Amino acid sequence: MTEPAFLVLAAVTVIGSIMALEARDLVYGAVALGVAFLGMAGLFILLDASYVAAFQIAVYIGAVVILILFTVMLVGPAKGEAQMELKRVSLLAAVLVATLIGMGGALASAAAFPGSDVCGGSCDIQSLSRTLLIDYGTQLELLSLVLAAAVIGALTLAKAEKKT
Amino acid sequence: MVAEGIPEIVYYLGFVTVSTIGLVVVLLLLISPKDPRPTPEKHAAFESGQIAAGRGRTRFIVQYYPYLLMFVVYDVVAMFLFAWAVNLRALGAPGTIPILVFMAVLLTPLAYALRLANKPENW
Amino acid sequence: MAEPFPDPIQMTLAIMTSPLFLKIAIFPGLTSIAIIAALLTWLDRKITARVQLRIGPQYVSPLGGILQSFADLIKLAFKELPLPEKADKFFFVMAPVFGMVLAGGLMGLIPFSHETLISNLEIGLPVFLAFVTLSPTLVLLAGWSANSKYPFIGGLRSLFQQTAYEIPLWLSAIGVVMLAGTFNLEKIVLAQSKGWFIVPQALGALLFLITSVAEQERIPFDLPEAEPEVIMGWQAEYTGFFFLAAQGAGFIKLYAFSALFATLYLGGYLGPGPLPPLFWSLLKTIGIVVAVILLRGTFGRVRIDQLLRAGWTILLGLALVNIVITYFIVVGFPTI
């Protein structure tokens, strides 16, 4: 569990996330988010899920971060942005942290998730595609509806822009 | 246990990164000459010989923004299609029907988007 | 614990002479990438000059000025490196440097031959394409950080162009994955021992070539660095080594994409006879490079709305048609 590669990647992810929140310039924040995603991709590799890591790089860094960057550049520097109310935020954060610690503890005891290691030593790309398309086919269709909704949302934005 | 090839590519990327950054540091500190008589013009933004006016980050190309949103969606779709393509022979019809439905659901808004995009008044 | 502490000099020597280090540092790694990128710059200038009935570089060595780009390299390295005062210095410096690292990183995945493959990843093709998706981020950052008008316009153009052509690039590569049934680039090469994939994948290969030229920002798709329109676009404020890095990354990408094309469609290092596999893969790569360079001498530049519309409608549609065709090939001829 505490192999050095894991420690380095976890540190990259956590520091990247903190910098993404704390960066004074939003562009730096977006890039720090990209670094955090990169650390997460590394964690996926350590979990022997390298296709998910490639997915993480292509979709999250290649597409999501660039969308955030573009939007930040479009909106420009935020001057005098109202601070979020600290108390509520810290309460929410405390709840989240507690949940995360609880989940971490549950993960640590392998008994909590007896079926988590489904494919044993043969976690290859073929079994991934079989699981994704046959075992989780219904979920895939639901996902396609979510993605279609995103496209339609983008089109609605575009049309609304034209009218004004 | 990490998959085959991962350590090599990590070493390779690390080596390339370290040598490129090292080269930049060496160039900046040792080789690149210092200007004995610096002028402010040298560090000004280039605007075809004019003195730079206004903000640098203007002239925003915003009308293609929906394309960017579509890119985020179809990037995900491409990754799922890859996962289907790699095991096409073994999956057969039970694996192909879900991806067909998946693509049908996603190609309908795409067709509508492209119909909108090809109208000249929307440019 | 009984192991004796290794002598540092011996250990360094052992690392330096290990096959992996030689591959990383010399071929197909860093040294060869730098030399080949410089030679490709020369080839690009020379072929374009011939197409335009000029001579091109000719003075810097007896052999048709082949050392011209090395001379340019030395000249650029000794230039002063002024940074624009309003620029965001960190990203301004980091974007071209990491752009070059990323372009060089692509070469770690290309199987030039079994012996010179750096990383035999099981998911080589998606990783190559995932690396490619990172480049618009860096170009956008380069354009934004200069805080100047032309670089910013160029960076935004590059963003829209590269994101529009990534989807058709991925979808056209899917045809090869369907035929080979693997993501591993070396296994894709070996799957072509009965016949190159360019035959069943003629449409896919054409689409892949077009979209990869767009990803490299070369004519006819060089809007982000168009000289007459946006004064080299996102590279406008770069001088000296940073300009070299930005330009060099383009030529390394040309080399990497051509090598990937040879790997996916032209049988990679497979070839007849006593000639080594390395010869065949380099020959095919150079062939594609020359074809792409000839495009530069032949075509004009497209407009950005034409470019985006073509990418999102014609190329994307044809890539989907190619997937359907390939599906029927795979189902109809299970032996291929």
Highest mean pLDDT among A7-16, B108-117, C74-83, C114-123: A7-16
Whether residue A8 is found in the same domain as residue A63: yes
Q: Residue C287 falls within a domain, yes or no?
A: yes
Q: Is the pLDDT of residue A120 over 60?
A: no
pTM of the complete model: 0.85
| Residues in B lying within 8 Å of A, measured between beta carbons | 1-3, 6, 57, 60, 62, 65-66, 68-73, 75-77, 79-80, 83-84, 86-87, 90-91, 94-95, 97-99, 101-102, 105-106, 108-110, 112-113, 116, 122
Residue B113 lies in a domain: yes
Number of domains in chain C: 1
Residues from chain A contacting residue C163 (CB–CB below 8 Å): 63, 66
Number of domains comprising chain B: 2
pLDDT of A80 reads 47
CB atoms within 10 A of CB A83: 7
User: Residues of C near A (CB-CB distance < 8 A)?
Assistant: 88, 91, 121-123, 126-127, 129-131, 133-134, 136-137, 140-141, 144, 156, 159, 163, 166, 183
Record: contact A76-B57, CB cut-off 8 A: yes
Q: Which pLDDT value is given to residue A96? A: 80
| Contact call for C121 and B9, based on CB within 8 A | yes
Residue A48 lies in a domain: yes
Answer yes or no: is C36 within a domain: no
Could you tell me the two tokens for A110? Answer: 């392998």
Interatomic CA distance for residues C274 and B116, integer angstroms:
57
A73/A13 same-domain check: yes
Q: Tell me, what's the pLDDT at C260?
A: 92
Give residue C270's domain range.
Answer: 84-332
> Which one of B60, B98, B122 has the shortest CB-CB distance to A133?
B98
- The answer on pLDDT for A119 being more than 60 is no
Residue B72 lies in a domain: yes
| Whether residue B80 is found in the same domain as residue B120 | yes
- Asked if residue A25 has pLDDT above 60, the reply is yes
CA C116 vs CA C24, C108, C133, C183, C281: distances in Å = 9, 10, 25, 19, 11
Substitution target from C141, C148, C158 for chain A, most A beta carbons within 10 A: C141
Q: Where are the alpha helices (DSSP H) in chain C?
A: 8-16, 19-25, 30-51, 68-77, 89-106, 124-145, 149-180, 185-190, 202-215, 227-230, 240-265, 277-298, 304-309, 316-332
Q: Select from A78, A100, A134 the last residue of a domain.
A: A78
Domain count, chain A: 2
Got the DSSP string for C274-291?
SS-HHHHHHHHHHHHHHH
Q: What is the pLDDT of residue C222?
A: 78
Rounded average pLDDT over B86-101: 81
Contact partners for chain C, using 3 or more CB pairs closer than 8 A, are A, B
Range of the domain at B25: 1-34
Quickly state the pLDDT bin for A132 (edges 50, 70, 90). Answer: confident
Could you tell me if residue C183 is inside a domain?
A: yes
Pair (B67, B117) in one structural domain: yes
- For residue C105, is it within any domain? yes
Contacts of A80 (CB under 8 A, 6+ apart): none
pLDDT confidence band for A108 (50 / 70 / 90):
low
Among chain A residues, CA nearest to B91: A130
Query: What length is written for chain A?
Result: 164
Pair (B30, B63) in one structural domain: no
What value does the mean pLDDT take over residues B80-108?
A: 83
- In a domain, residue B53? The reply is no
Which of A:119-138 have CB within 8 Å of B?
Answer: 125-126, 128-130, 132-134, 137
Asked if the structure places residue C162 within a domain, the reply is yes
Q: Is residue A66 part of a domain?
A: yes
Q: Does residue A85 contact residue C160 with C-beta atoms inside 8 Å?
A: no
Q: Is residue A71 part of a domain?
A: yes
C192 to A115, C96, C127, C179, C270: CA distances (angstroms): 39, 37, 21, 9, 8
Interface of B with C in 73-112 (CB under 8 A): 74-75, 78-79, 81-82, 85-89, 96, 103, 107, 110
A66 interfacial to chain C (CB closer than 8 Å):
yes
The whole-number mean pLDDT for each consecutive block of 10 residues of chain C, a chain of 336 residues, reads 68 80 78 87 87 83 81 84 80 88 88 83 87 89 84 86 89 89 87 84 90 84 73 76 86 91 87 82 90 85 81 87 88 70
B52 found inside a domain = no
A23-54 residues labelled b (16+ CB within 10 A) or e (exposed): eeebbbbbbbbbbbbbbbbbbbbbebbbbbbb
Whether residue B83 is found in the same domain as residue B120: yes
- Specify whether B30 is located in the same domain as B68: no
A164 to chain B, minimum CA–CA distance in Å? Answer: 13
What pLDDT score was predicted for residue A93?
76
Q: Annotate C109-150 with DSSP letters as a single string.
A: G--SSSTT-S---TTHHHHHHHHHHHHHHHHHHHHHHTTSHH
Answer whether residue B6 is part of any domain. yes
The range of the structural domain enclosing residue A51 comes to 1-78
Q: Are residues B64 and B117 in the same domain?
A: yes
- Chain B window 13-72: which residues touch C at a Cβ cutoff of 8 Å? 13, 15-17, 19-21, 23-24, 27-28, 31-35, 40, 42-48, 52, 56-61, 64, 67-68, 70-71
- Within a domain: B91: yes
Q: Is residue A86 part of a domain?
A: no
Note whether A63 contacts B116, CB cutoff 8 Å: no
Residue A97 domain-assigned? Answer: no
More confident residue, C294 or A85: C294
